Amino acid sequence: MSAVSTESPLAAAILARLQEALGNRSAALHEPVFAGAEWSYLKECLDTTFVSSVGKFVDRFEADLAAFTGARHAVAVVNGTAALHVALLLAGVVPGDEVLVPTLTFVATANAVRYCGATPHFVDSDEGTLGMDPEALRIWLDAVTERRSGVCINRRTGRPIRALLPMHTFGHPCELDGLLAIAKDFGLVLVEDAAESIGSYYGSRHTGTFGRLATLSFNGNKTITTGGGGAIITSDTDLARRAKHLTTTAKVPHRWEYVHDEVGFNYRLPNINAALGCAQLEQLAGFLNSKRRLFERYAAAFRDLPSVRLMSEPEGCTSNYWLQTLVLDEAVAGERDTVLATTNAAGVMTRPAWGLMHRLAPYLDCPRAPTPVADSLERRIVNIPSSAGLA
Amino acid sequence: MSAVSTESPLAAAILARLQEALGNRSAALHEPVFAGAEWSYLKECLDTTFVSSVGKFVDRFEADLAAFTGARHAVAVVNGTAALHVALLLAGVVPGDEVLVPTLTFVATANAVRYCGATPHFVDSDEGTLGMDPEALRIWLDAVTERRSGVCINRRTGRPIRALLPMHTFGHPCELDGLLAIAKDFGLVLVEDAAESIGSYYGSRHTGTFGRLATLSFNGNKTITTGGGGAIITSDTDLARRAKHLTTTAKVPHRWEYVHDEVGFNYRLPNINAALGCAQLEQLAGFLNSKRRLFERYAAAFRDLPSVRLMSEPEGCTSNYWLQTLVLDEAVAGERDTVLATTNAAGVMTRPAWGLMHRLAPYLDCPRAPTPVADSLERRIVNIPSSAGLA
């Protein structure tokens, strides 16, 4: 480790408040809780030998996800990245297209665009939601795009902009009304990256039910986990059918023949992972309550600390509080690394935001809007312990 | 079901012999056996909460796979298809290349070539091994390729042929000496699709240790299973390091920063699936013995049936007998569907070979050698119940 001063009063104040809220325990950033039927469902998989692509838990997990989110269909897949890849293909993204992506996101959002042979076009975030800023985006698209035969074209690159891929950062819904209006006005397909937002609602509707398609993630660090896993959700029955086909090697149903009618993917979720998901989903309401209680404890601890804002759910929204987040004021952004070093050294795990996509080596040459807010947020975000088990 | 005559004496004779060998049980084509530490390893994952990308079983599974196969390194991934994709990228396959692939294979072999932006170039199989026929391949490459600046070029398409991707069909090693000589003489990288051949040896060396890289699969129907899973094996330390990096989102190690230095993939195997793999690998020697005993029982039952050949391991090889296989004589190939219908109706599950790749819609326009043997084998292969638990 590089030498980091621990003399920062801000770092000491943050650590003291975290320890107060956490009852002086050491704490990971996010650990899953297995307090339900995980054990019995896994045992059922072993006892029946149905651990792989055959078995009842995949069907049940998909039905349960649809019921929980209110999307008509869910297709379980091997992880959130695979879900993004196929959702973008089904949104009509083809090689040579561009897709609007927040520069403040996990790398999977941008990678999935690349897997389609398309180019991510990075845009700015909003200070309040940490997600795509529709006002800045509209100004940018007005400036750089034109419609040709109904298609939104980036005049600078000559490429079609096919889709809009906002992400609900740390579980906080982004401004979907504004983004839906942009999708409509510019002829873009809205695909929601809801990897982090199961249990988060924009108004009374679950995130992921606003776009034509959306994606979920059940990685080990998420609100519920399948070990590794994800899902595509949509209320379009034809897209759901296509999603299932493409993610299961595009095999044509037959009692014994092996015929595949297009280039498909081996993205199906194994039954054993779906079994874990079914058990986790049964506990989701409790996890969400716990995470909200933890937020309230943090809110009490941090209420009197100037220059630090604890992220709370945007107005009119219900957040799942997947990752609790401190946002430092710009004036103290220079102390972020000291905050990280001090807290991690004390056994209270904290993390900064992801490196912005437009500064990663593989994406240096991609088109982008001005990103002053994301540039600033990246220097100021500190995620703090967030497990449901801490409440 | 379409109407199928059950009056075929051949079908009746085959069913009778299968029932004799199986002790009149109904039988699936291939079911896993969980008779070891599966239960305790899964429980350990839940108890420690390490079900996902963090945990000890991934490292152990990789070390155990390397030890078992004799490859210096193994990198566990989410399935065999993902392993093929990354192995081909690491073999240097780039968009516009061609890769030599058997037309008699599972669709993943061809799909993985497409994921690299390359084109599969289909070649024929050998009647004895069911794998790539090096003699026919050499004649074909002599006829259609030339070397330009050391690169093998398909003169008909003008494209470079970069790699050679044989598959060890149903666990029977293909003729690696001949294929290695071709790789050397034509400047091709040999990548082995060993999805079906864990526990199979060419001479005294494990399949998958002859090519620069090889891939394994642990799907639910394989000799050992992780639910879904696969691995890349190689003895090239630099390639192994690259494989790990590419399959784990190309994240640069850092105590907290999220920086990714290339377009990577989310192909890591979850710890919970690796836990299953560790337990299965401990039982592999027993599974292999059981599968050999089952072969011997079939050999006794089918010794006196003309016009049907039970696949046995190629000379000088040790097969894992993953899928037991009957090969009908050409003269009775027309009875294959009756055999399938009769046996499946009686609860003895049988399956034909995969539809040949060059006849699948997405691959109709790909280059290919004459494939008379594969064309014939496709009509004559019947896979029969093969689980280790049947012995």
In a domain, A195, yes or no: yes
Q: Which positions in chain B touch A221 (Cβ < 8 Å)?
A: 52
The more confident residue out of B368 and B53 is: B368
3-state SS string for B224-290: CCCCCCEEEEECCHHHHHHHHHHHECCECCCCCCCCECCCCCECECCHHHHHHHHHHHHCHHHHHHH
Cβ within 8 Å, pair B261-A361: yes
In a domain, B1, yes or no: no
Contact flag A258-B355 (C-beta cutoff 8 Å):
yes
pLDDT tier at B6, thresholds 50, 70, 90: low
The alpha-carbon gap from A173 to the nearest alpha carbon of chain B, in Å, equals 22
**Over the stretch A111-146, which tens digit does the pLDDT of each residue have?**
999 999 999 999 999 999 999 999 999 999 999 999
Cβ distance of B258 and A354 shorter than 8 Å: yes
Closest CA–CA distance from residue A53 to any residue of chain B (Å): 7
Put simply, the answer to whether A264 touches B107 (Cβ < 8 Å) is yes
Exposure string for A326-342, b = 16+ CB within 10 A, e = fewer: bbbeeebbebbbbbbbb
Calculate mean pLDDT across residues A31-41.
96
Per-residue pLDDT tens digits for B65-105: 999 999 999 999 999 999 999 999 999 999 999 999 999 99
Residue B383: beta bridge partners? B325, B351
pTM comes to 0.96
Domain boundary among B237, B266, B282: B282
Percent of chain A with pLDDT over 70: 98
pLDDT above 90 (res A54): no
Q: Pull the structure tokens for residue B71.
A: 């490859």
Residue A74 domain-assigned (yes or no):
yes
Q: Is A37 on the interface with B (CB under 8 A)?
A: no
Same domain, yes or no, for B132 and B209? Answer: yes
In a domain, A1, yes or no: no
Whether B157 and B302 map to the same domain: the answer is no
| Residue A197 is assigned to a structural domain of this protein | yes
Q: Judge contact between B356 and B330, C-beta under 8 A.
A: no
Query: 365-384 in B: which are within 8 Å (CB) of A?
Result: none
Q: Residue B148: in which H helix or E strand, if any?
A: strand B145-148
User: Which of A39, A115, A247, A272 to probe by mutation at the B interface, max B CB count within 10 Å?
Assistant: A272
Which chain B residues are within 8 Å of A382, Cβ to Cβ? none
pLDDT digits (tens, 9 = 90+) for B211-265: 999 999 999 999 999 999 999 999 999 999 999 999 999 999 988 889 999 999 9
Q: In terms of domains, do A205 and A123 share one? A: yes
Residue A257 sits in the same domain as residue A377: no
Q: Is B70 on the interface with A (CB under 8 A)?
A: no
**Contact map slice: A 153-212 vs B, CB within 8 A:** none
Residue A164 included in any domain: yes
CA-CA distance, B342 to B347, in Å (whole number)? 9
Which residues of chain B lie closer than 8 angstroms to A264, CB-CB? 107, 111
Decide if A379 is inside a domain: yes
Note whether B325 and B304 are same-domain residues: yes
Residue B228's domain comprises: 38-282
Cα–Cα distance, B219 to A70 (Å, whole number): 32
Q: Are B234 and B71 in contact (CB under 8 A)?
A: yes
Whether A340 contacts chain B with CB within 8 A: yes
A77 contacts in chain B (CB < 8 Å): none
pLDDT at A6: 53
For residues A326 and A235, membership in a common domain is answered with no
Same domain, B195 and B295: no
pLDDT bucket at A72, cuts 50 / 70 / 90: very high
User: Has residue A2 been placed in a domain?
Assistant: no
A130 and A215 inside one domain: yes
ipTM surpassing 0.90: yes
pLDDT confidence band for A3 (50 / 70 / 90): very low
- d(CA A377, nearest CA chain B) in Å: 15
CA A278/CA A58 separation, integer angstroms: 9
CATH of the domain at B382: 3.90.1150.10
Which one of A32, A82, A226 has the shortest CB-CB distance to B49?
A: A32
Q: For residue B114, which residues of chain A lie inside 8 Å, CB to CB?
A: 263
Structure tokens at B58: 């991934």
Average pLDDT score over residue span A322-345: 97
Instruction: Please check whether residues B228 and B264 belong to one and the same domain.
Output: yes
Kindly state whether residues A269 and A238 are assigned to the same domain.
yes
Q: Which residue in A116, A219, A108 sits closest to A167, CA to CA?
A: A108
Residues B207 and B258 sit within 8 Å (Cβ to Cβ): no
The percentage of residues in chain A with a pLDDT greater than 90, rounded to a whole number, is 95
Give pLDDT, residue A51. Answer: 86
Cβ distance of B257 and A355 shorter than 8 Å: yes
B16 vs A231, B19, B20, B339, B350, CA distance in Å?
Answer: 45, 5, 6, 11, 14
Find all residues with CB under 8 Å of A156, minimum gap 6, and list them: A144, A367
Which segments of chain A does DSSP mark as H helices, in order?
9-22, 38-48, 56-69, 80-90, 107-115, 134-144, 176-186, 237-247, 271-282, 284-302, 336-345, 372-380
pLDDT value of position B1: 40
Of B282, B316, B350, the residue at which a domain comes to its end is: B282
Taking the Cβ of residue A272 and every Cβ of chain B, the question of whether any pair is shorter than 8 Å is answered with: yes
User: Which B residues in the span 99-158 are in contact with A, Cβ-Cβ below 8 Å?
Assistant: 106-108, 111, 114, 117
Residue A192 · residue A217 · CB < 8 Å: no
Mutation target to probe the B interface, by most B beta carbons within 10 A, among A34, A50, A51 is A51
Quote the mean pLDDT of chain B.
96
| Beta-bridge partners for B234 | B73
Residue B109 identity: T
Token digits for A220?
A: 């080990």
Q: In total, how many domains does chain A have?
A: 2
How far apart are the C-alpha atoms of A90 and B37, rounded to whole Å? 41
For residue A1, pLDDT over 50 is answered with no
> CATH no. for residue B200?
3.40.640.10
Number of CB pairs < 8 Å for A and B? 185
- Mutation test of the interface with chain B: which of A52, A216, A226, A267, choosing the one with the most B Cβ atoms within 10 A? A52
Q: Name the domain boundary from A282, A307, A338.
A: A282
A70 and A218: one domain? yes
Would you call A220 and B270 a contact, using CB atoms and an 8 Å cutoff? yes
Co-location of A320 and A195 in the same domain: no
A261 touches chain B (CB under 8 A): yes
